[in-house]
C-alpha cells in the first residue's frame, strides 16, 4: 500500500458505538442520555470517562424538560466520573463511594445554574437541577441502569427495561 494511501486511511475517524439510556427516578423524575465511544472498546471489561468520546444527558420531570448537560460543557471544575461495562451494557453501581458523577458530585449540588446533573453513589441515584440536590428523585444505589443501541423516551416505558425501581 502506498504511504499516502496508508496516511489517508489512518486519518479517517474511528468507528464509534452510540448507546442510549433512560433512568427512571422517584417522584416522576427521569433522565435520557446518549454515549459514544470507539467500537474497539465494545469488548472491554470496563470503560471510564476517559474512554467516552460523546456524552449527553437530559433531565425530565413528568415529561417536562428540566435541563441538560454534555461533554461540550466539560471544564476542569466539572464533576465527571463514569463507569460502564460494555459487555453487559450497564453502568456499574458497586455500592461504595461515588460511581457515576455526570455534572453532579457526591453532594449532588454542583451542576450549575442553570444546570442539570446526575449522581450515583452509596447514598442513592439522584439528580441536580439548577444547583439544587433534588432529594425527591432519589432511588436506591443498586438500581440497574442499562444502555441500548435503540433511542429512548423520557418516560422510559416504551424502551427495553433500562432502569427499574426496586419494589
- pLDDT band with cut points at 50, 70 and 90 for residue 14: low
Q: What is the pLDDT of residue 115?
A: 96
Q: What is the pLDDT of residue 98?
A: 82
User: CA 110, 125, 138 angle in degrees (round to 5)?
Assistant: 90
Backbone φ, ψ for residue 155 (5° rounding): -85, -10
The helix/strand/coil state of 122 is coil
Asked whether the beta carbons of 67 and 130 are under 8 A apart, the reply is: yes
Place of cell 428540566: 66
pLDDT (average), residues 76-99:
93
> What is the Cα–Cα distance from 167 to 150, expressed in whole angstroms?
26
Q: Is the pLDDT of residue 161 over 90?
A: no
Place of cell 422517584: 26
Q: What is the pLDDT of residue 10?
A: 41
What size, in residues, is the chain?
A: 167
> What is the Cα–Cα distance from 166 to 144, expressed in whole angstroms?
9
pLDDT (average), residues 17-35:
98
pLDDT digits (tens, 9 = 90+) for 127-151: 999 999 999 999 999 999 999 999 9
Q: What is the pLDDT of residue 157?
A: 72
pLDDT digits (tens, 9 = 90+) for 37-68: 999 999 999 999 999 999 999 999 999 999 99
Place of cell 489517508: 8
What is the grid cell recorded at 148? 441500548
pLDDT digits (tens, 9 = 90+) for 88-131: 999 999 877 789 999 999 899 999 999 999 999 989 999 999 99
Share of the chain above pLDDT 70, in %: 86
Amino acid at each position: 500500500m502506498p504511504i499516502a494511501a496508508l496516511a489517508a486511511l489512518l486519518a479517517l475517524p474511528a468507528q464509534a458505538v452510540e448507546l442510549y439510556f433512560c433512568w427512571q427516578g422517584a417522584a416522576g423524575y427521569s433522565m435520557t442520555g446518549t454515549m459514544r465511544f470507539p467500537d474497539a472498546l465494545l469488548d472491554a471489561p470496563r470503560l471510564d470517562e476517559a474512554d467516552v468520546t460523546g456524552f449527553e444527558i437530559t433531565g425530565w420531570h413528568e415529561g417536562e424538560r428540566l435541563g441538560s448537560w454534555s461533554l461540550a460543557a466539560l471544564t476542569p471544575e466539572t464533576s465527571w466520573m463514569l463507569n460502564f461495562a460494555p459487555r453487559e451494557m450497564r453502568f456499574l453501581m458497586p455500592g461504595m463511594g461515588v460511581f457515576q458523577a455526570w455534572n453532579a458530585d457526591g453532594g449532588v449540588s454542583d451542576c450549575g445554574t442553570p444546570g442539570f446533573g446526575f449522581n450515583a453513589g452509596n447514598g442513592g441515584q439522584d439528580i441536580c437541577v439548577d444547583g439544587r440536590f433534588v432529594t425527591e428523585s432519589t432511588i436506591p444505589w443498586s438500581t440497574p441502569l442499562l444502555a441500548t443501541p435503540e433511542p429512548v423516551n423520557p418516560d422510559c416505558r416504551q424502551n427495553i427495561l433500562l432502569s427499574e425501581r426496586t419494589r
